[in-house]
């Protein structure tokens, strides 16, 4: 369906939100709601996004032809503050996926105690096939189509799969041109030169490893080179998580990107691989390791597994074969709910996405605050505030999990849902 710009009616939306990630997210929400005995009226309201916009993004390609892409921006909740969430450029993007990810953002922000709601956006496109100028034209047109929907007081995008700091710079510039003045607070994850925050690009991966450290302390796993870590995805999250684990002294045995990966049970030199990757744009051909597929990496021999690429990769087909004792969800929704139950039943400790990968939105929040104040903090201050929030959030969830004899996913979602619900009840329903 191609359309100019449509505010989707709820009945239309209902048909569109029935994809597997949405259903998975909804099932997890229902479990958490039962755990915290959530008011059924609040649950009804949380099951659907507040607003969604679907836009057509006509883009001139380098050969002169025009291609028309589908773009989306979904705001799930603005109860706690302006909506916050990334923009994804990927062929899987559709209204259902974006809606599920927007809902996860509401709970991620609430869990970390941020004064923000949840949103997500995206364009259905294979970004790796676009030239830089095609990507810029697509980004500017998409921004222009959603510009009335976003803004520093209402909805603040950030990078996700297929988008990066440069993409955010184009969004910020297009929005600012339309407003007639620079508006750095409209996006986070921007380059430092135009109001970005120190520490933002590594924050999600760094935060994942902060939660791994806390989980190891709880599980009494001594954090040294005997601990083997496998990381799927070598983008912003995966590369930073692998680097941070390596710096912590853990043994990173396997890493991968979309085209496959590398394994060496004696440990990989993550720094050397990062250099190799930035020169060659591929992991293929790196000499000090063997090749491994993306399916193999998940079931490889390791103590800690960090799926940091796409959703649904750990599912009923491979859950039984997972050998890790600890899984930290760097990606959003990498473990299906069915697989999660199976893993937890087998004694695997799973740190859920809304906790494990919250570092990105926490430092995005810092960036937004710095932009609004026009006053910037040091990287040391950012990392120490990030660690403080990640650690205290992990402990809150763990305490809730132990008190309620619930797994970490239920406890994390339950904690988040309770916070959103308290605010919704205080604000009430308009009109009565
Ligand atoms: P990215 O585009 O920088 O990297 C994605 C990585 O995954 C790349 O290495 C890519 O090659 C690989 N990949 C893509 N498709 C794959 C597939 N089918 N199988 C295996 N590998 C595949 O994206 P990112 O920002 O690192 O995001 C990764 C995940 O983390 C996403 O689920 C995203 O929603 C989530 N996340 C990102 C942030 C952030 O701050 N960037 C914050 C929270 C959550």
Catalytic residue among 50, 120, 325, 410: 120
Q: Is residue 136 part of a domain?
A: yes
- The verdict on 183 and 235 lying in the same domain is no
Q: Residues 58, 178: one domain?
A: yes
* 210 and 329 part of one domain: yes
Helices of type H across 36-94: 40-46
Q: Which residue is closest in CA terms to ligand 1's atom 17?
A: 258
Q: Which residues approach ligand 1 with their CB closer than 6 A?
A: 159-162, 204, 232-238, 257-258, 294, 308-310, 330-332, 357, 360
Q: Give yes or no: residues 260 and 281 share one domain.
A: yes
Q: For the chain, 432 residues long, give each residue's pLDDT as a single digit of tens.
A: 444 555 556 666 665 567 889 999 999 999 999 999 999 999 999 999 999 999 999 999 999 999 999 999 999 999 999 999 999 999 999 999 999 999 999 999 999 999 999 999 999 999 999 999 999 999 999 999 999 999 999 999 999 999 999 999 999 999 999 999 999 999 999 999 999 999 999 999 999 999 999 999 999 999 999 999 999 999 999 999 999 999 999 999 999 999 999 999 999 999 999 999 999 999 999 999 999 999 999 999 999 999 999 999 999 999 999 999 999 999 999 999 999 999 999 999 999 999 999 999 999 999 999 999 999 999 999 999 999 999 999 999 999 999 999 999 999 999 999 999 999 999 999 998
Substitution candidate for ligand 1 out of 89, 233, 293 with most atoms within 8 A of CB: 233
Shortest-distance Cα residue to atom 33 of ligand 1 = 331
Tell me which of 190, 221, 255 is where a domain ends: 190
Residue 21, in any domain of the structure: no
Domain extent at residue 225: 203-356
Q: How many domains does the chain have?
A: 2
pLDDT of residue 18: 73
- Are residue 234 and residue 174 in the same domain, yes or no? no
11 is a domain residue? no
Tell me: do 180 and 283 sit in the same domain. Answer: no
Distances (CA, A) of 354 to 18, 103, 111, 249: 21, 10, 8, 26
Q: Is residue 20 part of a domain?
A: no
Domain co-membership, 100 together with 180: yes
- Pair (145, 91) in one structural domain: yes
**Model pLDDT, residue 13:** 62
What separation in Å is there between the alpha carbon of 331 and the centre of ligand 1?
Answer: 6
Q: How far is Cα 226 from Cα 303, in angstroms, rounded to an integer?
A: 9
Cα 272–277–282 angle (5° rounding)?
A: 135
Tell me what pLDDT residue 315 has: 97
Single out the residue in 356, 372, 396 at which a domain terminates.
356
For this structure, is 120 an active site residue?
Answer: yes
Atom 14 of ligand 1: nearest residue by CA position: 258
Is 280 in the same domain as 322? yes
* pLDDT of res. 1: 45
**Ligand 1: residue whose CA is nearest its atom 36:** 331
Task: Judge whether 262 and 273 are in contact, CB under 8 Å.
Answer: yes
The two structure tokens encoding residue 4: 């100019």
Residues 90 and 153 both lie in one domain? yes
State the CATH number of the domain containing residue 317: 3.40.50.720
Mention every residue, 6+ apart, whose C-beta is less than 8 A from residue 371: 152, 184, 185, 195
Among 195, 203, 187, CA closest to 241:
203
């Amino acid at each position: 369906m191609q359309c100019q710009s449509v505010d989707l009616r709820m009945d239309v939306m209902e048909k569109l939100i029935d994809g597997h990630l949405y259903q998975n997210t909804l099932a997890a929400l229902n479990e958490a709601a039962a755990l915290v005995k959530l008011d059924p009226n609040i649950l009804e309201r949380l099951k659907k996004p507040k607003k969604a916009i679907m836009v057509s993004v006509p883009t001139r390609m380098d050969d002169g032809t025009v291609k028309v892409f589908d773009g989306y921006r979904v705001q799930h909740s603005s109860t706690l503050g302006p909506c916050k969430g990334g923009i994804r450029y990927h062929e899987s993007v559709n209204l259902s996926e974006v809606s599920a990810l927007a809902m996860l953002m509401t709970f991620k922000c609430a869990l970390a105690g941020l004064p923000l709601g949840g949103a997500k956006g995206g364009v259905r496109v294979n970004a790796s096939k676009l030239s830089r100028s095609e990507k810029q034209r697509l980004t500017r047109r998409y921004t222009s189509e959603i510009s009335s929907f976003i803004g520093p007081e209402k909805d603040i995008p950030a990078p996700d799969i297929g988008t990066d700091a440069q993409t955010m710079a184009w969004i910020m510039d297009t929005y600012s041109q339309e407003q007639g003045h620079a508006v750095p607070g409209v996006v986070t994850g921007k380059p430092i030169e135009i109001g970005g925050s120190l520490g933002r690009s590594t924050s999600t991966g760094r935060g994942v490893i902060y939660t791994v450290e806390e989980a190891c302390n709880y599980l009494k796993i001594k954090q040294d080179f005997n601990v083997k870590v496998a990381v799927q995805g070598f983008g912003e999250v995966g590369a930073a998580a692998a680097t941070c684990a390596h710096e912590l002294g853990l043994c990173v045995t396997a890493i991968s990107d979309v085209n496959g990966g590398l394994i060496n049970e004696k440990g990989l030199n993550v720094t050397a691989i990062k250099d190799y990757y930035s020169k060659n744009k591929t992991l293929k051909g790196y000499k000090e390791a063997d090749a491994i597929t993306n399916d193999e990496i998940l079931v490889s021999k390791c103590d800690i597994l960090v799926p940091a690429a796409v959703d649904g990769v750990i599912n009923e087909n491979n859950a039984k074969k997972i050998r890790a004792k600890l899984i930290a969800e760097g990606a959003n929704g990498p473990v299906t709910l069915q697989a999660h139950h199976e893993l937890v039943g087998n004694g695997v400790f799973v740190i859920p996405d809304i906790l494990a990968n919250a570092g990105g939105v926490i430092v995005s929040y810092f960036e937004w605050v710095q932009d609004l104040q026009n006053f910037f903090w040091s990287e040391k201050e950012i990392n120490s505030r990030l660690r403080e929030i990640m650690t205290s959030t992990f402990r809150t969830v763990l305490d809730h999990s132990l008190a309620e004899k619930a797994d970490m996913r239920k406890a994390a979602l339950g904690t988040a849902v309770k916070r959103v619900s308290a605010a919704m009840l205080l604000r009430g329903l308009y009109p009565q």
